[in-house]
Amino acid sequence: MSIPTTLPEATEQAKAAAEAALAAGLGRIQVDMAIPEIKHQPIAKQFLSLLEGKQFKIFFPDAGAAALARRDWENPDFMIKGLGELSEPVDDDDDIYLVVNPSSVEVEIVESLCNAALDRPVILLNPRLEDVSVVGIGYAARQLRDRFLSQIETCYYVRALDGGALYRSYPGPWQIWKEIAPDQYELMQDLAARPSGEDIDRILYSESSDSAAGEATASESGSKPRKKGLFAELQQFLKALSQ
């Protein structure tokens, strides 16, 4: 699987990655489609197909966002609530939970939900749980990361970089793609774990990037596939959605 060229393609990839992660027994997973101006509610609606046949709840960051989703989805018979609306968000007959776009303000509530869910899966859709201005950088922040945030598996990730893109679709590796011409990208390297900023700089921007590219494992034949129209087409689709 390789980087998407449209938002619908990205959404289908994200759903497939989440389904594969759930089938593998992963209980805390996140989907991160880091695309500017993305509309979270329509994406969340596409994930309902993953929940069919299960007892589930969907949580939005607050009561207002949940009420808007209920209205736009024509008051469905499943539960849609804000994260702070329920004192007991978990019921014995629940099978799975979908949490849409939670921020660092809600990180403690999300952690409590995950703890209460026990072995039941929780999908975090486009979360923004790490904000230094809220979570901090000291001992408490490190505890939070060690205790909770580090336990979440990123099953899908796509983000534009300056001159490239970072991508992952479970169970595949993390990948760094480089823009080699306007709207034309080339796979530079596969990585077993999410690369640090230094890794990205080395692979994309340093003089050694050519040698790093030579070590890429894009396919069994060693070739490096190229994709055109990546984020330009995504942005065009986003503009169409907002009209």
Mean pLDDT of the chain: 83
Q: What is the pTM of this model?
A: 0.83
Percent pLDDT > 90 in the chain is 60
Q: Parse the chain into domains and list their residue ranges.
A: 7-156, 157-242
Residue reference for tokens 């989440």: 18
Give tens-digit pLDDT for 3-16: 888 889 999 999 99
Structure tokens at 17: 């990655």
Name 158's Cβ contacts closer than 8 Å, sequence gap at least 6.
3, 4, 10, 32, 33, 34, 35, 165, 166, 167, 168
Tens digits of residue pLDDT in 21-48:
999 999 999 999 988 788 999 999 999 9
Report the residue count for the chain: 243
Say how far apart CA 188 and CA 38 lie, in whole Å: 26
Fold of 7-156: Rossmann fold (3.40.50)
**Residue range 168-177: average pLDDT?**
96
